[in-house]
Each structure stands twice: as C-alpha cells, then as structure tokens.
Structure 1
Amino acid sequence: MADIHIQRSHQLGLTGARKVAWKWAEQAEAEFDMACAYEEGDDCDEVQFTRSGVKGTLRVSAEHFELDAQLGFLLGAFKDRIESEIVKNLDELLAEKKKKPATKAASGSRKK
C-alpha cells in the first residue's frame, strides 16, 4: 500500500475552512467517484473518503488541513500523480478562498 500525507496551513478560521472542505468533498465525489462522509466537530472536522482502492481522511481545523490517504496495490503505482492532483485541487480551493470579492467604493454624489 502507498500512503499520501498532505498538510496545508491557512488563516481561514474553522468556518472558512469548512466551506473549503465541503467544496473539496463535492469535487472528490463528482470528479473521482469518491464516497465522502463529513462530520463536524467543535474544533476539528473530518471528511472520510473512500472508493475502490482508496480510503482516507481529511482533517479540518481553524489553522490547517491534513489529508491522509491509503492507496491500494493497483493505485499505488500512480501515487505521485494522485498526490499532485490532490495538492493542486486543495491549493486551488485555498487560493479561491483567499481572494476577497471586489468592493465598490462609496460614491460621494447622489442623484436627486
């Protein structure tokens, strides 16, 4: 079996991190046919994910994400590719969350 361990720090707080984790789980289900179960905790959430040849956990806290996955024999041969895809997806989701929506400056003039 091949193991994958990924950790990413963030400054989103638990509420923001939950949003990212939910989106990650939705993508994992849609794109990789994973079965995901999300469990919220007081200070840490867990996403359990499985499919044939893969099982793992994404732990979500106010400060970091930590993903551990075990790949079966057949998928173990693709460990580097699978790991890089997970890293890419998680990093993209974190980058999206960091972007703040543009706010319009208040205009000093009003039509009457």
Structure 2
Amino acid sequence: MADIHIQRNHQLGLSGARKVAWKWAEQAEAEFDMSCTYEEGCDCDEVQFSRTGVKGSLKVTEDHFELDAQLGFLLGAFKDRIEGEIVKNLDELLAAKKTASKSATKKKKA
C-alpha cells in the first residue's frame, strides 16, 4: 500500500476552511467517484473519503488542512500522479478562496 500525506497552511479561519473543504469533497465525489462524509467539530472538521482502492481523511482546522490517504495495491503504482492531482485541486481551491477574500476586503474599503 502507498500512503499520501499532504498538509497546507491557510489563514481562512475555520469558517472559510469549511467552505473550501466542502468544495473539495464535492469535487472528489464528482471527478473521482469518491464517497465522502463530512463531520463538523468544535475546532476540527473531518472529511472521510473512499472508493475502491482508496480511503482517507481530510482534517480541517482554522489554520491548516491535513490529508492522509491510503492507496491500494493497484493504485499505488499511480501514487505520484494521484498526489499531484490532489495537491493541484486543493491549491486551486485555496487560491480561489484567497482571491475572493481579497476582493471582498477591497470592496469593503471602497
């Protein structure tokens, strides 16, 4: 089995991070046929995801995301590609959220 571990820091707070995590889960379900469950906590949320050959979790806090996934034997051969897609998707969502936050801040100042 191959393991994937990804951590991304952010400055979104828990509320903003939840929005990104929900969007990530929706993309994982739509694009990769994942089954996702989202559990909110007081200071940490967790998205559990799975499909044949993959299972893992995305932990969401006020200042970082932490993704851990285990790939089965067959998908383990594609670990680098799968990890690259996950990183790309998460980074794109974070960049979009950061851009939206900056735009909202500029509008409030105007």
TM-score range, shorter chain: over 0.9
Stretches of structure 1 that go unaligned for 5 or more consecutive residues are: 107-112
Alpha carbon RMSD of aligned pairs, Å?
1.3
Counterparts in 2 of 1:10-49, with a 5 A limit? 10-49=10-49
The two structures have a TM-score, normalised by structure 1, of 0.91
Instruction: Report matched runs for 1:26-105 at 5 Å.
Output: 26-99=26-99, 100-101=102-103, 103=107
Superposed displacement of residue 30, structure 1? 0.2
State percent identity of aligned pairs: 82
Other-structure match for 1:109: none
Q: Return the letter of the residue paired with 2:12.
A: L
What stretches of structure 2 of length at least 5 have no aligned partner?
A: none
Give how far 1:24 is off. Answer: 0.1
TM-score w.r.t. length of structure 2: 0.93
Q: In 1, Cα distance between the equivalents of 2:92 and 2:9?
A: 14
Q: CA deviation at 1:104?
A: 8.4
Aligned residue pairs total 106
* Separation in 2, partners of 1:56, 1:90: 15
Whichever structure has more helix as a proportion of its residues is 2
1:4 aligned onto 2:8: no
